[in-house]
């Protein structure tokens, strides 16, 4: 299996190799375009100066050879030949010392030879370092009555001066340090990725306690922070899922056991008519409770799905709230609660069915958890881009802890409320309003009452007004 570590190192070496090749090509192009002619010119000038000195100052054999020996010691390789094939070498020996006869004749016949141009054209700047006798500059030399051909080139060893060695060592050190640095850096980059991989495996096994030790300020650190947030959210979701299953099982089991128990009692022939009616009423209440729980579970499951079919239309919100209030007039009378409302005319473009569920749940709660002779106040305020609805009661109120959790599924403030509801009503309210693009919040004081505030946007109303010519 290919690891990221190996791939990163391979990619780095590939980039380094390609960089070297490109750098070499560019260096050769610069050499051929700007440097080669200048170097050839300087070497030719040196050869001409040697020839001049030999012809003018050292025309005698006594000084001829010592002069060339001194020139060779200054860092040059020299080869001299004549028509009689008298060959003389001065300085370091050539690696390839065989010079073709036609080149000798060319120079002896008074035609200069620029051998380095030929070699450099073939292998670019590397020809500058070739220790080949053909990599010389050949000029005719007249000493007394004798004609010679002299071939001169800088000693290859002198080309590699101390500064060149230092530069070469510097480049090699940079390459080595860069490679070591890349290896270390790669390990540092791969370590948190490997740790994240192990944490992912732990989450796959439903282990949400894996601790990440990644402390970075870069993108990997941000990834680790986001992973931890995801880990906490998944842990929360897992707890919520298990709690949901437990609550659903419990809430279904309780009415089913009651229905089964009272149904068995109804089969007894010794029951009085009064007991029979009481048991039958209990079975009916439990069946109604079970039906209501099923409907709410189906609704909240549908709301969880991203493809829930929201059917929006133009709604006159104040009239819809009034209709919801009328549906609860019997409950209001039984509880001896007074409802007052001030509803400004307001239109929204929303789903009337979901909004009806919202008002029904909130008004039901305001009545159910109110005090005897309590009050409920409902207001609808029409603003420029939104509509604000508040439902305030003088009920028992909520603690700070309950306010934070009241929208959680199956959450009940205390066990005394268990028979009165399913713990899903406010969850449905929250998800319905959110799905419609609005917000819901509450303010509650224990023993003094609760106020729910729903804010709905007017998005889409402008198109309706324009369509109706308003």
Integer Cα distance of 239 and 63 in angstroms: 105
Angle ∠(348,350,356) on CA atoms, nearest 5: 100
**CATH at residue 439:** 3.30.565.10
Residues 98 and 66 grouped into a single domain:
yes
Residues 16 and 154 grouped into a single domain:
yes
Integer Cα distance of 57 and 188 in angstroms: 71
Residues 149 and 279 grouped into a single domain:
no
Task: Report residue 196 as tokens.
Answer: 């994240």
Q: Per DSSP, which regions of 202-361 are E strands?
A: 313-316, 338-343, 347-350
Integer Cα distance of 434 and 117 in angstroms: 82
> Which of residues 281, 304, 327 is at a domain's end?
304
**CATH at residue 234:** 1.10.287.130
Residues 319 and 379 grouped into a single domain:
yes
Domain count along the chain: 3
Residues 344 and 406 grouped into a single domain:
yes
Give the CA radius of gyration of the chain: 49
Residues 328 and 450 grouped into a single domain:
yes
pLDDT tens digit at each of 470 positions of the chain: 456 667 777 777 787 778 777 877 777 777 777 777 787 788 888 888 888 888 877 666 567 788 888 888 888 899 999 888 888 899 888 888 888 888 888 989 989 998 755 544 444 556 666 778 888 889 998 887 888 899 998 887 766 655 556 666 777 777 777 778 777 777 777 777 788 888 888 888 877 777 777 777 777 778 888 888 888 888 877 777 777 677 667 667 777 888 888 888 888 877 788 888 888 888 888 888 788 777 777 777 777 666 667 888 899 999 999 999 988 888 888 888 899 999 999 999 998 988 988 998 899 889 988 888 899 999 999 988 899 999 999 988 888 888 888 887 766 665 444 445 567 778 888 888 988 889 999 998 888 899 999 999 987 655 554 555 44
Residues 9 and 156 grouped into a single domain:
yes
Provide the terminal-to-terminal Cα distance of the chain, rounded to the nearest Å.
69
Residues 125 and 244 grouped into a single domain:
no
DSSP assigned state of 418: T
Tell whether pTM > 0.85.
Answer: no
Answer whether residue 29 is part of any domain.
yes
Angle at which helices 425-435 and 352-368 cross, to 10°:
150
Answer whether residue 205 is part of any domain.
no
> Which of residues 160, 181, 209 is at a domain's end?
160
Residues 300 and 383 grouped into a single domain:
no
pLDDT at 344: 92
Angle ∠(203,205,210) on CA atoms, nearest 5: 45
Domain that holds residue 421: 313-467
Residues 353 and 260 grouped into a single domain:
no
> Which of residues 304, 339, 364 is at a domain's end?
304
Answer whether residue 176 is part of any domain.
no
Residues 97 and 130 grouped into a single domain:
yes
pLDDT at 381: 93
Residues 373-396 as b or e (16 or more Cβ within 10 Å = b): ebbbbbbbebeeebbbbbbbbbbb
Answer whether residue 64 is part of any domain.
yes
Integer Cα distance of 382 and 384 in angstroms: 7
């Amino acid at each position: 299996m290919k690891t990221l570590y190996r791939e990163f190192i391979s990619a780095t070496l590939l980039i380094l190799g390609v960089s070297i090749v490109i750098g070499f090509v560019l260096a050769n192009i610069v050499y051929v375009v700007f440097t080669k002619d200048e170097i050839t010119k300087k070497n030719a000038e040196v050869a001409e100066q040697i020839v001049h000195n030999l012809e003018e100052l050292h025309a005698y054999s006594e000084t001829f050879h010592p002069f060339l020996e001194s020139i060779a010691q200054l860092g040059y390789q020299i080869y001299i030949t004549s028509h009689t094939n008298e060959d003389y070498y001065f300085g370091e020996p050539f690696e390839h010392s065989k010079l073709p006869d036609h080149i000798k004749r060319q120079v002896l016949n008074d035609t200069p030879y620029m051998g380095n141009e030929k070699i450099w054209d073939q292998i670019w700047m590397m020809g500058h370092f070739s220790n080949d006798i053909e990599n010389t500059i050949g000029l005719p030399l007249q000493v007394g009555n004798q004609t010679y051909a002299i071939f001169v080139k800088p000693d290859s060893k002198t080309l590699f001066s101390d500064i060149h060695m230092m530069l070469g060592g510097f480049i090699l050190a940079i390459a080595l340090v860069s490679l070591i640095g890349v290896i270390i850096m790669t390990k540092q980059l791969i370590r948190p990725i490997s740790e994240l991989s192990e944490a992912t495996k732990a989450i796959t096994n439903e282990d949400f306690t894996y601790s990440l030790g990644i402390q970075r300020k870069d993108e990997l650190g941000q990834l680790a922070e986001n992973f931890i947030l995801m880990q906490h959210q998944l842990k929360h979701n897992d707890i919520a899922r298990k709690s949901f299953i437990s609550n659903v099982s419990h809430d279904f089991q309780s009415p089913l056991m009651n229905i089964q128990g009272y149904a068995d009692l109804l089969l007894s022939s010794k029951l009085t008519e009064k007991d029979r009616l009481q048991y039958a009423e209990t079975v009916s209440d439990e069946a109604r409770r079970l039906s209501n729980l099923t409907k709410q579970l189906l609704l909240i499951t549908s709301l969880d799905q991203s493809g829930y079919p929201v059917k929006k239309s133009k709604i006159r919100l104040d009239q819809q709230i009034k209709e919801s209030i009328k549906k609860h007039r019997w409950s209001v009378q039984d509880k001896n609660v007074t409802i007052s409302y001030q509803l400004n005319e307001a239109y929204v473009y929303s789903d009337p069915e979901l909004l009806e569920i919202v008002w029904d749940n909130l008004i039901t709660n305001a009545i159910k958890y109110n005090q005897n002779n309590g009050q409920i106040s409902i207001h609808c305020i029409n603003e420029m881009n939104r509509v604000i609805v508040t439902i305030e009661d003088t009920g028992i109120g909520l603690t700070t802890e309950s306010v934070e959790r009241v929208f959680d599924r199956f959450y009940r403030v205390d066990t005394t409320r268990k028979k009165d509801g399913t713990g899903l009503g406010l969850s449905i309210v929250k998800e319905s309003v959110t799905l419609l693009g609005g917000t819901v919040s509450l303010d509650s004081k224990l023993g003094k009452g609760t106020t729910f505030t729903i804010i709905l946007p007017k998005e889409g109303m402008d198109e309706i007004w324009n369509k109706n010519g308003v």
